[in-house]
Structure 1
């Protein structure tokens, strides 16, 4: 897909924000003095340069609301063209300030993460169960990772909800939602850009990915599940071989918002630096609040020996220690972790590429943790490299 196509969405709106009419102050109201531009238009005491130099107070910039950004440039003896000129300059600055503020003031929320950007994790999917109260609604309980045009990887324990869960019509998931960072749609796809209550959020996403934005051709999809293949050694409720492959009922088209992850096939993880975790699970371990917007956080790999020693007191009949098909990751000081609802999602490492569309290695699948975001308590993931033969035999059987 060409960059021209990607930029097609709301190009006229973006043009309005980025390009402003030429200001034409009258000669009698132009005051010149030495500065960088050698030109400072002054309209009855309001100088364009004063607006350009405006900054949020550093201590409370995150407290500003949209109403705090309003400015009235009307004044006695000020021409309408002069008022408009000051408004154009102010609106231009306001857009830049809000972009800066949004990037600085993102809440620390997976637990301890931040909202993902559109297209940042195009392999990410959510497993949907049909609602018991409304057959046209879906309830999302686990994550999954797209690894080909027709297959996804998730946790085996995700595939059968408890019998006590009366919110869903069936114990097994029926669909996967991919190509979106939101779980709840309030607008049809053709109006996707209006899901942002503040248009500046869309500009942040565009700026973040150098014009990599929403396309209508290959947007969010609800894809039916054809079959589920659990690992043959998985024995619920034990926590070993907690992995499953989902075959979709149809092939998905690869594009900016939907794209498979690569599989990390080496047992050596030393080339990997920071890894990230993504999910729609609990974002506040105290209130148990879950997120409807995809969250991302960075974690560290914890070596097997250290992890096994740390988690030794947590052993029980369901998990008797770290196995060779398991890997640990977390933030040992605490505060960052996968939580309930993030199960089945990826532990991933970004591939160093020069292209704009990001691609990741799938290193692990979220399996379980002890609590959420506790200090000195890493989470346990299924190690992809250890089970890659099994994965390939199902996803690409003819290549064997």
Structure 2
């Protein structure tokens, strides 16, 4: 996977933070796209969503642990520099819950390809519903929901309100057929989603946020973590997500050490 071809969907605060669309190519001719396919989430709709101060998203794995992407953090160890914001759709709401980090645990062996998960330990619990993670591949199909905060155009400011969108599963074979960096998709560690015609996707700034769906009991379950992609909701360029079920056991073991 070339560093120019596959772009991680992380954005530092004040940089690109898009929700419900995907990253623009890093070429001079690439025009910024408006947010497409996304609608504003309702307060309380996804209470497990977390906004992280370094420009990423995340989900509440437990009241004191946030699950995010490995590429959103610099490594493992004590870390008090991250602020997690939760409990609101409106980031400027006076009801927003803000908690500092104490530790970070990045996926062992992470080197920029695959294994794109990390855990952030919080200084105090966030008393909101958590998001359970998939422990097998049963729900790695169908239509997924993605959500996050972001700008309406590439290089714009972070959005105040959370947006949500739906994206369908794409098979590994179809995803690889897109060519370029997609040819190096790591089966079993990454899962793709999006529309063949484009128009709806996750993007820079959504990194670390969850891709989820309803399980057979009607409860939300996380199947992916926003990782990388090429283009901004462009035809033939799907979003790529960490396949959570593959790492469920490792995530549980790591969380138990925090």
TM-score > 0.5 by shorter chain: yes
Q: In structure 2, do the counterparts of structure 1 residues 110 and 277 end up closer, same or farther at CA, with 3 Å as the change threshold?
A: farther
Unmatched 5+ stretches in structure 2? 1-33
Query: Is 1:341 equivalent to 2:216 in the alignment?
Result: no
Corresponding residue for 1:332? 196
Alignment partners' CA distance in 1, 2:192 and 2:72: 19
* Residues 110/241 of structure 1: CA separation in 2 closer, same or farther (3 Å cut): farther
Q: Distance in 2 between matches of 1:381 and 1:121?
A: 19
Which structure exhibits the higher relative contact order, with contacts defined as CA atoms closer than 8 Å and separated by 6 or more residues? 2
Cα distance in 1 between the residues matched to 2:147 and 2:35: 7
Query: How far apart in 2 are the matches of 1:176 and 1:110?
Result: 24
Asked whether 1:142 is paired with 2:91, we answer: no
What's 2:7 paired with? none
2: distance between equivalents of 1:227 and 1:397? 11
Question: CA separation in 2, counterparts of 1:251 and 1:225?
Answer: 11
1:263 lines up with 2:133 in the alignment:
yes
Q: Secondary structure at the match of 1:344?
A: coil
Of the candidates 146, 157, 180, which is equivalent to residue 313 of structure 1?
180
Judge conservation of contact 1:277–1:347 (CA < 8 Å) in 2: yes
User: 2:121 maps to which residue?
Assistant: 247
Verify the 8 A CA contact 1:347 1:364 in the aligned structure 2: yes
Paired residues in the alignment total: 222
Match of 1:278 in 2: 147
Deviation of residue 234 (structure 1)? 0.9
1:54-203 → structure 2 map (5 Å cutoff): 111-129=36-54, 141-160=55-74, 173-185=81-93, 188-189=94-95
What TM-score, normalized to structure 1? 0.51
Question: How far is the alpha carbon of 1:226 from its aligned partner?
Answer: 1.2
The equivalent of 1:225 in structure 2 is 101
Q: Structure 1 residue 322: deviation in Å? A: 2.7
Q: Which of residues 366, 380, 383 is equivalent to 2:226?
A: 366
1:8 alignment partner in structure 2: none
CA shift, 1:284, in A, is 3.2
Give 1:375's aligned residue.
Answer: 235
Q: Which of the two has greater strand per residue?
A: 2
In structure 1, distance between residues paired with 2:157 and 2:100: 28
CA distance in 1, matches of 2:35, 2:106: 26
Gapped regions of structure 1 (runs ≥ 5) = 1-108, 130-140, 161-170, 190-219
Provide the rounded CA distance (Å) in 1 between the counterparts of 2:64 and 2:175: 34
TM-fit CA distance, 1:252: 2.5
Q: Is the 8 A contact 1:126 1:144 kept in 2?
A: yes
- Cα deviation for residue 352 of structure 1 reads 5.7
Whether the 8 Å CA contact 2:80–2:100 is kept in 1: the answer is no
Higher CA-based Rg: 1
3-state SS of 1:225 partner: strand
Shift of 1:353: 5.4
Shift of 1:394: 2.1
CA distance in 1, matches of 2:229, 2:151: 13
Using the alignment, how far apart are the partners of 2:113 and 2:36 within structure 1? 22
* 2:170 corresponding residue in structure 1: 302
